[in-house]
Amino acid sequence: MTTYHEGDLFTETFAGFGDAVETPQRRVWPTVVALAVAAALVIGGLVWLKESPRAAAAQAVSATTLLSAFDRPQRGVDTIPDNDLDGLGDSVRPETTRLLLTDADGKQFVAVGQHGQLCAVTVPVGDLARISCVPSVEHTSIEVGDDLVIATNGTDPKLGDGWQNVQPNVWTKG
């Protein structure tokens, strides 16, 4: 008959680890310096982002301050006919409309939208009026078709060749 001797399982399993080679202790200062540099870069980046002029949101202004056409009182020629105004719904404030020019596309108006935005309104002959609005912020422009750009005071739309400034804030092509 064969006899098995059962030894101490714990001792057999976990014995011999005391002879392991000890690793030299690492220096802490390079890690501390690396963490400090990383923290400084993160903080510097956040400060730069907060102070950057491009990061600042555009400040809304009154649409009537953006174009010189609003400097003059509304005249009879500045009003959009009622039937064309009805086609726009409640998109613009009727008391703010100003005629900019008459061209091949029809009459070109600017107005203040019901929510304070700057709007361009085209009233073509024999067709429905069209409207295009942008938020009322400085240095913005509205492109009306392919041949008319309305830009706010102090804005140079840098349109290239063939464009001419026909009156303050208004550029046409051709």
Asked whether the beta carbons of 111 and 92 are under 8 A apart, the reply is yes
| DSSP at 172 | E
Q: What is the pTM of this model?
A: 0.63
Q: Give the pLDDT of the chain (174 residues) as one tens digit per residue.
A: 566 656 666 666 666 665 555 666 777 788 888 888 899 888 888 887 777 655 445 677 788 888 888 899 999 999 988 888 887 878 899 999 999 888 887 898 999 998 889 998 989 888 888 888 888 888 788 888 777 888 877 666 667 777 888 888 888 886
Asked whether the beta carbons of 96 and 88 are under 8 A apart, the reply is no
> For residue 153, what are the CA distances in angstroms to 67, 68, 141, 168, 170?
6, 7, 10, 8, 10
Helices marked H in the chain — which ranges? 9-14, 29-51, 82-87
